Amino acid sequence: MYHKPYVILGIVAFLILLAMPYWVTAGNIKYEDIHKELAQPKGVNCIKGVKWMSSYHMELLNEWREAAVRDGIRKYPTDNGVFNVSLTECWKCHDYENYCKKCHEFMEVRPVCWDCHYNPSMEMPTVNYLNK
Amino acid sequence: MSGVLYIFYVLPYIAIAIFIAGVIYRIVNWANSAVPLKIPTTAGQQPCFRFIRRTWIDKIDSPSNKFWAFVRMIFEVFLFRSLFRNTKYYVEKAGKNADTRWLWVFAILFHYSLLVIVIRHLRFFTNPTPKFVSLIEYLDGLVGVAIVPPLLMTGVLALVGLAFLWGRRIFLAKERCISLPSDHLILFFMAVILVSGLLLRYVVKADLSYVKMFALSIITFHPPSPEVLANLHWLFLIHFTFVCITIAYLPFSKVMHFAGVWFSPTRNMPNDNRMRRHVNPWDPNPEVPILARVGITVDGHVFKCKKLDWDTYYEMYKDQLDEIAENNYVLKPEEL
């Protein structure tokens, strides 16, 4: 083999690059069954089917945002009943800290909701004029 | 049914094993090939009289020692400098040169987008996720300004880059002529991976919690529960399978240019022809100057003939020529 030290250096660099997930976390990768750690929701039925909700809940919130802000629609009928178009509707069943936030942190998803809205774990209370 | 799904858990290990073994095999294979001649390509002023000006760009383009050759290599690998000089590809009718540096633009877009995409995927393979991964994703999505979920720029740019790099091979006549099926195959793999990935993010959404649990199970060697495998989205499985196939295919493909670029003799040799003697590794007695030699030596035999006649040629390549003759091919010297 010609230029052996350089070639070995190259192969080692290649292997180190390949092992990137291990060294960026300093070997600290924890396998977690997130579904066992999430708080069980209180209600029976979610707004739509559970499977649909787990993938598309953000699309629903988008739809709600436009319906509420642009058209003033505050009621959302589905097969599972009529729901208020509000985030607090979610928190009637789901615990924010132990359900929404926990899974989002696990997934490293950072929704931009809280740039404008307040959530239960913030100091200011959510203004929920629907309960008046 | 659930047992069959464990194929998807085994698949990445097989693919990575083929990838690592294949890459190391090819690197060692290249490292074993001799470079008989000193052939650096240069585009700058080499060291000369002191009054001839030599800028740092000259030093990169015409490196005179190992350090500057290394700098040139780094520029080549990270900025694709030789591709940037791709200006004389088409000679038009009037003898005018066409600028084809758009190839450099789309190549660099595509490669760096892929790099960012790979780094962004670390969010599935790490728990907890390092800060820089979320920062890159945040910046990539233009700090969340456009839509929900944020439209990640690198995904779009990689698709644009791929469209041009593939379109170039399809619509330009000369490139179409020199494109091999394998060129289209790897671009096809990349297209399937990119499109399925973009669809998964923006259109057909998967339950990501199971995807991440699956990814973590691969990286921590912790077999996933049947529940996780059963809940994996079909489009994710297509995306994932194509990624595994591509990883396993890389050592056999032209994508090996990521290692091959370091071995290109025109790039990695310092331009020091007149300072240091380059010894041909195949030369059995390099001490004797070439012009002072009587003949050429092949496999220990000295052939004392400067002008090659048929008998000498036959002597030199006896084994191969006999083998050809055995297959009923007629061998005869060229008529002059």
**In this predicted model, what pLDDT tens digit does every residue of B262-314 receive, in sequence order?**
999 999 999 988 888 888 887 777 777 766 677 777 667 777 755 667 777 88
Who's near B297: CB < 8 A, 6+ residues apart? B284, B285, B303
In this predicted structure, the answer to whether residue A4 has a pLDDT above a threshold of 90 is yes
Q: Mutate which of B35, B120, B209, B212 to disrupt the A interface (most A C-beta within 10 Å)?
A: B209
Bridge partner list, B144:
none
Q: Mutate which of A28, A36, A53, A108 to disrupt the B interface (most B C-beta within 10 Å)?
A: A108
**In this predicted model, what pLDDT tens digit does every residue of B199-255 receive, in sequence order?**
999 999 999 999 999 999 999 998 888 888 888 999 999 999 999 999 999 999 999
Residues 49-108 of A with CB under 8 A from B: 51, 54-56, 58-59, 61-62, 103, 105-108
Q: What is the mean pLDDT of residues B127-148?
A: 84
Which secondary-structure segment (H or E) carries B303? strand B301-303
Pick the CATH number of B4-268 from 1.20.950.20, 1.20.1740.10, 1.10.1490.10, 3.40.50.300: 1.20.950.20
Among B162, B125, B122, B126, CA closest to B140? B122
pLDDT at B257: 94
Q: What CA–CA distance (Å, rounded) separates A47 from A80?
A: 6
Which residues in A86-120 are b (16+ Cβ under 10 Å) and which e? bbebbbeebbbeebbebbeebbbeebeeeeeeebe
Per-residue HEC secondary structure of A61-118 comes to HHHHHHHHHHHCCCEEEECCEEEECCHHHHHCCCCHHHHHHHHHHHHCCCCHHHHCCC
**In this predicted model, what pLDDT tens digit does every residue of B56-77 receive, in sequence order?**
999 999 999 899 999 999 999 9
Cβ-Cβ pairs closer than 8 A, A with B, add up to 102
Whether the link from the prior residue into A125 is cis, omega within 30° of 0, is: no
Asked if B275 and B62 touch (Cβ cutoff 8 Å), the reply is no
Q: Is the pLDDT higher at A115 or at A52?
A: A52
CB contact under 8 Å between A106 and B216, yes or no, is: no
Confidence of residue A132 (pLDDT cuts 50, 70, 90): very low
CB contact under 8 Å between A2 and B219, yes or no, is: no
The ipTM (two decimal places) reads 0.87
Q: Is the pLDDT higher at B35 or at B2?
A: B35
Confidence of residue B34 (pLDDT cuts 50, 70, 90): confident
Q: In angstroms, what separates the C-alpha of A60 from chain B's closest C-alpha?
A: 11
Q: What are phi and psi of B274, to 5 degrees?
A: -95, -5
Q: A129 touching B, CB under 8 A? A: no
Q: What CA–CA distance (Å, rounded) separates B209 from A55?
A: 9
Q: What is the mean pLDDT of residues A79-87?
A: 88
**In this predicted model, what pLDDT tens digit does every residue of A54-81 receive, in sequence order?**
899 988 988 898 898 899 888 888 888 8
Confidence of residue A17 (pLDDT cuts 50, 70, 90): very high
Residues of B in contact with A21 (CB under 8 A): 122, 125-126, 219
Q: What is the mean pLDDT of residues A23-51?
A: 87
Q: In angstroms, what separates the C-alpha of B245 from chain A's closest C-alpha?
A: 17
Who's near B200: CB < 8 A, 6+ residues apart? B206, B233, B235, B236, B239
Confidence of residue A34 (pLDDT cuts 50, 70, 90): confident
Confidence of residue A90 (pLDDT cuts 50, 70, 90): confident
pLDDT at A86: 86
Give the side-chain half-sphere CA count within 13 A for B302.
Answer: 6
Q: In angstroms, what separates the C-alpha of B96 from chain A's closest C-alpha?
A: 42
Q: Is the pLDDT higher at B86 or at A41?
A: A41
Q: What CA–CA distance (Å, rounded) separates B300 from B167?
A: 52
Q: Give the β-pairing of B296-298 and A75-78.
A: unpaired
Residue B301 per-residue DSSP state: E
Query: Token pair 């979920």 is at which residue?
Result: B149
CB contact under 8 Å between B134 and A11, yes or no, is: no
Q: In angstroms, what separates the C-alpha of A29 from chain B's closest C-alpha?
A: 5
Who's near B68: CB < 8 A, 6+ residues apart? B59, B60, B270
The rounded mean pLDDT for chain A is 85
pLDDT at B314: 85
Who's near B168: CB < 8 A, 6+ residues apart? B103, B175
**In this predicted model, what pLDDT tens digit does every residue of B88-134 receive, in sequence order?**
655 666 666 677 888 999 999 999 999 999 999 999 999 888 899 98
- Whole-prediction pTM value? 0.83
**In this predicted model, what pLDDT tens digit does every residue of B146-182 receive, in sequence order?**
677 888 999 999 999 999 999 999 998 888 999 999 9
So where are chain B's domains?
4-268, 283-336
